[in-house]
Amino acid sequence: MNTGLFTKIFLLFPFLIFIWSEVSIIVPESDFLEDAKVSPAKLEFFRDSIRFSVKGTIPIESAINPRNPQLKISIKSSDQMLDLGEVELRKTVSHYEYEKGYNLPYSPWMEGAFLEAQFFHGKKKSDVPNEIKILAKGVITTPLLAKVGVVNADEPIPQVGLYIPTGIITENILTAGEFLFRFDPGSSSLKLNGANQKSLTELKTFITENPSIVSFKITGIQSPEVSEGKSSKLGMDRSVVIQKRLKADGIVFRDSLMDIKSRWNDWFDFRLLLRDYEKISTQRKDQYYSILLNGTDYPTQSQQLKKIPGFDQVSRELFPKLRATKVEILAKPVSGLDQEQSASLKEALRQKEGNYNTLDQLDWAIAGETSPRLEDKAEIYSKMTELFRSALPYNNLAVVKMRQAQRTLEDSVKSRLWIDAYRLLEQALKIETNPYVLHNQGQILIFQGKTWEAYTKLSAASGLTRNPEFLKYNESLRGALDIMRGDYKLAILRFDYLFSEPGNLFNKGLAYFLAKDYANASLSFEESVMAGRNYGYGYYGLALVAALSGQDEVALIQLQKAIESSEQIYQKALIDPVFEELRQKKDFFEIFKSKGQEN
């Protein structure tokens, strides 16, 4: 996303509101251009270009009117203009007709620009058009919302780069575990039957193998069945029961890591089950989704669902699975050097000359992985390049520089760090063809705007390993590029993993949205929101789905949540043609007005 462009748009906000809402006053439309139309009606970014056609007729009112007619097309922003030249006019008895197609390379300034038709006629040529008509306002650039690690000023810094792991620690990629405990109807009493005992055993094994817990969520769920009660108390009771059971088994964590909650009168978990339910047709699922996404309240949706043929069977098979508590864990294993090894490491780092070293390469690698500060990692990996001929220190030192680049505001420093990192990765490849090295090269190439070269690197990386955690991370970045390249269905396949990060879940929703699978798009956007309540892009995605579904009130609610989270989203929403119809409503500008007053 072009930050400079958005800054200019923000400063011109009052002007844009006036132009976009009162365009007929500033640019009066005439009979001559009344029939001028652009197809598609809203310009869209697709695979690095904007493709559209302009078509219409110009009436011949008399023998001298219009005289010497000319029609020109241009794209204009507040400070840039692209002249698309003259359109050929073909004369008939009653009118001139015209049609011309365009395929323009996209530039960021076009996002907030106008597609304009200018009509000239008269005995003398003039640079001033007789009439002007705005054919389209802005460009839909939804694919460019894909998250690829770019830093925005008011948002958390995305983590980029993958260290080559030792196998003892997975520093970059968090491991996710999900465990389900079932309950009898209306009960919060946990029975340790075969299924629940298996879940408990698997949960304990997961924690043993991944002892560094990042988050621990316990969510009590209630089925819509009458036996499940008329309040959320049962769901919370189920959460507490699981918490106590785990505590009794010695599984205790800090309060800051624990998130204990319940869901009631919420179809989210039912929709998750419905997505994988294979006993009904896709058409029948669409009936369910059209109700679950219509924005009405829970009781209304419940009544509407009961009218769908076969609902009794679906509810009989799926509702019992909602009498449950879900435990979701994010974790990573932890290891490190002992006291003696740490002392040896400090001495080796202190020695500027000579080769004082009693540690092997694995010890050094573990020290680098477990060091929390980038400066310490840089010192360790730099020393390792002197001691060992291995791709690991070159790659990992490059990752340090990549992350340092993410944290600097100076473009010249950032650019230099990207270059330094890439050179280190080239050195690593001379030693070993490694998927982590190729992934990191691909990431840097994305930041340098070389997306095709980046895609080639990422594709090669996926072909070198079957490691599921690496593939999950690499394919998610590859999928983001698929979105930007217009391969939406292929992007969906890339996201066929269990994600926990809001950015990846948003990208997954974006792939579904652009493939016009709005039901799964909405579900993924909701998952993004649940994974990061302050991550506004999930709300923005839900607003996009609601706007295209004609749910204006829902779209405004989600849009307000989105713009409150990020200045980038705030400025994006101002000019996004997807919300053009919403701009006709007073409530649209009210939510922006309230945000502006906060700033």
Q: Which are the contacts of 272, defined by CB distance < 8 A and separation ≥ 6? A: 523
**How many domains are contained in the chain?**
3
pLDDT at 489: 96
Give the SS3 label for residue 63.
Answer: coil
Burial class of residue 589 in the structure, from the number of CB atoms within 10 Å of its CB (0-12 exposed, 13-18 middle, 19+ buried): middle
486 and 420 in a single domain? The answer is yes
pLDDT at 293: 79
Location of structure tokens 């909602």 = 322
Is the pLDDT at 185 greater than 90? The verdict is yes
Question: How many residues does this entry show for the chain?
Answer: 599
pLDDT at 444: 97
380 and 526 in a single domain? The answer is yes
Would you say residue 159 lies in a domain?
A: no
583 and 470 in a single domain? The answer is yes
The CATH number of whichever domain residue 197 belongs to comes to 3.30.1330.60
40 and 127 in a single domain? The answer is yes
Rounded to whole angstroms, the Cα distance separating 235 from 59 reads 69
Instruction: Categorize the per-residue pLDDT at 546 as very low, low, confident or very high, splitting at 50, 70 and 90.
Output: very high
394 and 264 in a single domain? The answer is no
Would you say residue 115 lies in a domain?
A: yes
Rounded to whole angstroms, the Cα distance separating 382 from 370 reads 16
231 and 314 in a single domain? The answer is yes
The CATH number of whichever domain residue 99 belongs to comes to 2.60.40.10
End-to-end CA distance of the chain: 21
Rounded to whole angstroms, the Cα distance separating 481 from 342 reads 42
415 and 561 in a single domain? The answer is yes
pLDDT at 17: 43
| Long-range contacts, stretch 287-295, CB < 8 angstroms, 24+ apart | 288/314, 289/518, 289/519, 292/267, 292/519, 293/518, 293/519, 293/522, 293/545, 293/549, 293/551, 294/549, 294/551, 295/546, 295/551, 295/553, 295/554
Would you say residue 13 lies in a domain?
A: yes
Q: Which range among 22-31, 105-114, 283-292 has the greatest average pLDDT?
A: 105-114
Q: Which are the contacts of 205, defined by CB distance < 8 A and separation ≥ 6? A: none
- The domain in which residue 283 lies consists of 175-332
Would you say residue 341 lies in a domain?
A: no
DSSP symbol at 62 = B
13 versus 468: the higher-pLDDT residue is 468
Would you say residue 169 lies in a domain?
A: no
Beta strands (DSSP E) in 183-242 are 212-221
Would you say residue 436 lies in a domain?
A: yes
The CATH number of whichever domain residue 474 belongs to comes to 1.25.40.10
Mean pLDDT for the stretch of residues 151-172: 78
104 and 225 in a single domain? The answer is no
383 and 324 in a single domain? The answer is no
Q: 55 near 133, Cβ under 8 Å? A: no
pLDDT tens string 186-201: 999 999 999 999 999 9
Per-chain mean pLDDT for the chain: 88
Mean pLDDT for the stretch of residues 53-64: 87
Q: In the structure, how many helices (H) and strands (E) does the chain have? A: 24, 14
Location of structure tokens 């058009």 = 129
pLDDT tens string 314-369: 999 999 999 999 999 988 655 567 777 788 888 888 876 656 678 888 888 888 88
Which of 147-151, 255-259, 448-452 is predicted least confidently? 255-259
Would you say residue 349 lies in a domain?
A: no
Which of 2-6, 236-240, 480-484 is predicted least confidently? 2-6
Would you say residue 151 lies in a domain?
A: no
254 and 188 in a single domain? The answer is yes
Give the SS3 label for residue 333.
Answer: coil
Of 309, 332, 355, the last residue of a domain is 332
Q: 167 near 72, Cβ under 8 Å? A: no
Q: 3 near 153, Cβ under 8 Å? A: yes
Q: 135 near 116, Cβ under 8 Å? A: yes
Query: Angle formed by the axes of helices 311-318 and 268-275, to 10°?
Result: 100
180 and 234 in a single domain? The answer is yes
197 and 261 in a single domain? The answer is yes
